[in-house]
């Protein structure tokens, strides 16, 4: 019973490159959430997606960041033209989408921008 | 394996009363952070309190306090004077070096 799978575990990018973070939700889960955690800070909500739909992207920066959750395949968080301030841990979580459904988190992707 | 266990899927407390949420973790590290996060219906994860493993003193943030027992690898959250706004999912998290591990969560209901 695989949990939420995120890859890569660690990602190093130079300024200006693109970063792609992947998240495969738990089996049976159709809702995915992305969070960002800056060093020694709490998780910050970024975006909430269902299959093929963005439900809430109120936490996403207006530029360079995008997310998708296609009908087939993992959810992708894409960061274009990365800057050093993008360095953080990015967590994905999934759920069945009901309010009383717990979130199951992945182990995160640590992005380092050099 | 580094795991975090929250053994109480659901808890209930009467408004103004005190409730304690349990959390245990497994690690071979000596230095790490422990966190409690709250997730209200808005789905945003809110940091409630954090504890550094090398600090003996239990962390306190207003009505929230922890009982950190390093030898027992236990990290419980006590909420005093519970309020209706405290109703949420609470996640315990362990972080050795920005490598966060979360428990499955405890759903707290506050009864008026």
Nearest chain A CA: its distance from B51 CA (Å) = 11
Residue A100: predicted pLDDT = 47
Taking the Cβ of residue B25 and every Cβ of chain A, the question of whether any pair is shorter than 8 Å is answered with: no
Q: Do B89 and A103 touch (CB under 8 A)?
A: yes
B2 or A79, greater pLDDT: A79
Per-residue pLDDT at A99:
47
Question: If you average pLDDT over residues B2-30, what whole number do you get?
Answer: 91
Asked whether B112 and B13 are in contact (CB, 8 A), the reply is no
Task: Tell whether A41 is within 8 A of chain B (Cβ).
Answer: yes
What are the chain B neighbours of A40 within 8 Å (beta carbons)? Answer: 33
Contact A102 B101 (CB under 8 A): no
Give the integer Cα–Cα distance in Å for A105 and A25.
9
Q: Given this model, what pLDDT does residue A37 score?
A: 79
- Say which of A33, A45, A89 has its CB closest to residue B100: A89
Contact B5, B103 (CB under 8 A): yes
Minimum mean pLDDT among B17-26, B65-74, B99-108: which range?
B99-108
pLDDT tens readout for residues A10-56: 999 999 999 999 999 999 888 898 988 776 565 677 898 999 999 88
Render pLDDT for B54-99 as a digit per residue (tens, 0 to 9): 888 999 999 999 999 999 999 999 999 999 999 998 989 887 654 5
The answer, yes or no, to whether residue B27 has pLDDT greater than 90, is no
CA neighbor of B101 nearest in space, from B111, B93, B90: B93
User: For residue A48, which residues of chain B lie inside 8 Å, CB to CB?
Assistant: 43
Peptide bond into A31 cis (omega under 30): no
Within chain A, how many helices (H) and strands (E) appear? Answer: 0, 11
Residues on chain A touching B90 (C-beta within 8 angstroms): none
pLDDT tens-digit readout, A68-107: 999 999 999 999 999 999 999 898 988 876 644 566 778 7
Q: Which of A44, A91, A102 sits opposite B100 (nearest CB)?
A: A91
Read off φ and ψ for residue A105, nearest 5 degrees. Answer: -95, 150
């Amino acid at each position: 019973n695989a949990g939420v799978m995120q890859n890569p575990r660690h990602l190093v990018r130079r300024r200006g490159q693109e970063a792609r973070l992947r998240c495969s939700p738990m089996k049976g889960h159709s809702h995915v959430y992305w969070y960002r955690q800056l060093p020694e800070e709490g998780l910050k909500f970024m975006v909430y997606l269902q299959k093929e739909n963005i439900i809430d992207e109120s936490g996403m920066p207006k530029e360079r960041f995008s997310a998708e959750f296609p009908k087939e395949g993992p959810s992708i968080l894409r960061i274009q033209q990365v800057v050093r301030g993008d360095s953080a841990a990015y967590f994905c979580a999934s759920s069945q989408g009901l309010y009383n459904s717990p979130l199951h988190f992945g182990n995160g992707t640590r992005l380092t921008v050099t | 394996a580094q795991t975090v266990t929250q053994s109480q899927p659901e808890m209930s407390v009467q408004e103004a009363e005190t409730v304690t949420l349990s959390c245990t973790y497994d690690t071979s590290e000596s230095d790490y952070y422990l966190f409690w996060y709250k997730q209200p219906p808005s789905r945003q994860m809110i940091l409630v309190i954090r504890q550094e493993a090398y600090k003996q003193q239990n962390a306190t943030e207003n009505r929230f306090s922890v009982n950190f027992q390093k030898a027992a690898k236990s990290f419980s959250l006590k909420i005093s004077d519970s309020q209706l706004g405290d109703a949420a999912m609470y996640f315990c998290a362990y972080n050795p070096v920005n490598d966060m591990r979360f428990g499955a969560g405890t759903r707290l209901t506050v009864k008026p």
